[in-house]
Amino acid sequence: MGQTSEKPRVYLFYGDDSQARARALEKLRRGLGADHHAALDYIRIEGEKASLPQLHDAVLTIPFFSTRRLVHVLSPLAMPKLKSQADRAAFLELLGKVPPSTALVLDEPQNLAENHWLLRWAKKHAPLAFVRGYTLPKDLTRWILAQAKEEGGQFTPRAAAELARRVDGDAQWARNEIHKLLAYVGYTRPVDVEDVQELTPAMEHPNIFAMVDAMALGQTERAMRLLYQLRQQEETPRIWGMVVRQFRLLILTREALDLGFTDKNSIAKALSIKPFVAQKLLPQARRFPASRLTQIYRRLRDTDRAWKTGEMDLDTALDLLLASLRRAG
């Protein structure tokens, strides 16, 4: 059998579109086998806690019930031992030794430049390495039109533009709204601008800024009170999306400040957001060091994982998150 007929052994999924990466992983995971025993041949490894020996043992373990074992490494570039050239060389050497009985998924949430060392290695070693980038769109209106078509429905150009405006560039929220709006019209006619105006509220919620401020400051009681008020207006998944988006923007704004961007217009341009949004983000970002925001974002990631894996419902997960952010000292 020629080498080109073999299935890839290393899959590099990268980019900031987390939902698209999750769907690609789930599709690959379903291919492990039809019965539930396939779950025994799936292992998830956190990159920031991983070591090369641990990864070595995981990829060389033979599958028990499936034809292949799936090793899922989340944030591989966060591995502590990837800082030096020698460390990277050892890591790439290990990738080259992945056996046909293993599918190693490198699930990297960063957007990678074309000359990134890991991306270069994966492209060089095709077809035994498979690469797919999943980045959030720059032109959200055009992306909404394409996504609707892919889902078997249609948006009018004006409706797509209105949805893009209302979600303020948040593609993950837009994806959820596309499904809802297409279901609303029954896939029998194009979604029009009146449908969007009726079913998709604008992003701006004054309370979300206040609640995120309280969360970052560890003011649990105030954050809980604001969360209660938001729950009277929005469903919990929508609130969760706003919280995650807000902290993501805060981290990016903090990074922009550290790079020397100091006014709302320069930050709005750098982050591709509206100036009035940047103006609201600036006071919050100035208040907190990058380390504090990164710590909170990691807790958001853990909470998101607990919800999506069914460990707890989202309302409970959000309440526990607020309680965990009580600032020490």
| Residue with tokens 């929508």, as numbered in its chain | 238
Indicate whether 276 and 154 sit together in one domain. no
Q: Given pLDDT bands bounded at 50, 70 and 90, which one contains residue 39?
A: low
Q: What is the mean pLDDT of residues 258-269?
A: 83
Indicate whether 43 and 8 sit together in one domain. yes
Report the percentage of the chain scoring pLDDT > 90: 29
Which secondary-structure segment (H or E) carries 89?
helix 85-95
Which of 56-60, 102-106, 144-148, 288-292 shows the lowest per-residue confidence on average (mean pLDDT)? 288-292
Q: What is the pLDDT of residue 1?
A: 36
| Residue at a domain's end among 133, 160, 181 | 133
Q: How far is CA 123 from the centre of its chain?
A: 23
Number of domains in the chain: 3
Q: Which residues contact 51 (CB under 8 A, 6 or more apart)?
A: 79, 80, 81
Looking at the domain assignment, is residue 144 inside a domain?
yes
- pTM value surpassing 0.85: no
| Residue at a domain's end among 183, 199, 215 | 199
How far CA 5 is from CA of 98, 100, 126, 147, 232, in Å, comes to 16, 12, 12, 32, 56
Which of 29-33, 98-102, 262-266 shows the lowest per-residue confidence on average (mean pLDDT)? 29-33
How far CA 311 is from CA of 25, 141, 269, 303, in Å, comes to 19, 35, 39, 10
CATH number of residue 298's parent domain: 1.20.272.10
Beta bridge partners of 133: 14
Indicate whether 52 and 151 sit together in one domain. no
Indicate whether 82 and 145 sit together in one domain. no
Q: How far is CA 4 from the centre of its chain?
A: 32
Indicate whether 228 and 153 sit together in one domain. no
b/e string for 67-99 if b means 16 or more Cβ within 10 A? Answer: ebbbbbbbbbbbbeebeeeeebeebbebbeebe
Degrees (nearest 5) of the Cα angle 117, 301, 276? 90
Indicate whether 258 and 183 sit together in one domain. no
Look at residue 9 and tell me whether its pLDDT is greater than 90.
yes
Look at residue 277 and tell me whether its pLDDT is greater than 90.
no
Indicate whether 158 and 190 sit together in one domain. yes
Using only C-alpha atoms, the chain has a radius of gyration, in whole angstroms, of: 22
- C-alpha 178/C-alpha 132 separation (Å) is 23
For the chain, report the end-to-end CA distance as a whole number of angstroms. 64
pLDDT greater at residue 23 or residue 152? 152
Indicate whether 25 and 92 sit together in one domain. yes
Do 149 and 169 contact (CB within 8 A), yes or no? no
Indicate whether 120 and 33 sit together in one domain. yes
* Number of residues in the chain: 329
Indicate whether 177 and 222 sit together in one domain. no
**pLDDT tens column, 129-184:** 999 998 878 788 999 999 999 899 999 999 999 998 887 667 777 888 898 899 99
CATH number of residue 17's parent domain: 3.40.50.300
Looking at the domain assignment, is residue 329 inside a domain?
no
Looking at the domain assignment, is residue 62 inside a domain?
yes
**pLDDT tens column, 301-325:** 888 888 877 788 888 888 888 877 7
Sheet containing 102-108, strands listed edge to edge, beginning at the edge strand earlier in sequence: 42-46, 69-74, 102-108, 10-14, 129-133
Indicate whether 211 and 195 sit together in one domain. no
Q: What is the mean pLDDT of residues 38-55?
A: 82
CATH number of residue 166's parent domain: 1.10.8.60
pLDDT greater at residue 209 or residue 97? 97
Looking at the domain assignment, is residue 298 inside a domain?
yes
Q: Given pLDDT bands bounded at 50, 70 and 90, which one contains residue 12?
A: very high
Look at residue 326 and tell me whether its pLDDT is greater than 80.
no
Strand 42-46 to 102-108 pairing: unpaired
- C-alpha 261/C-alpha 253 separation (Å) is 9
Torsion angle in degrees (nearest 10) through CA of 249, 45, 38, 237: -20
Look at residue 106 and tell me whether its pLDDT is greater than 90.
yes
Q: What is the pLDDT of residue 205?
A: 59
Q: What is the mean pLDDT of residues 198-210?
A: 69
Look at residue 93 and tell me whether its pLDDT is greater than 50.
yes
Q: What is the mean pLDDT of residues 13-26?
A: 83
Give the structural domain span for 216. Answer: 206-324
Pick the closest to residue 297 from 266, 253, 264 (CA basis).
253
Strand 102-108 to 69-74 pairing: parallel
Q: How far is CA 226 from the centre of its chain?
A: 25
- C-alpha 126/C-alpha 39 separation (Å) is 27
Average pLDDT, the chain: 83
Q: What is the pLDDT of residue 329?
A: 30
| Residue with tokens 């980038």, as numbered in its chain | 133
How far CA 278 is from CA of 248, 275, 281, in Å, comes to 13, 5, 5
Indicate whether 254 and 285 sit together in one domain. yes
| Residue at a domain's end among 83, 106, 133 | 133
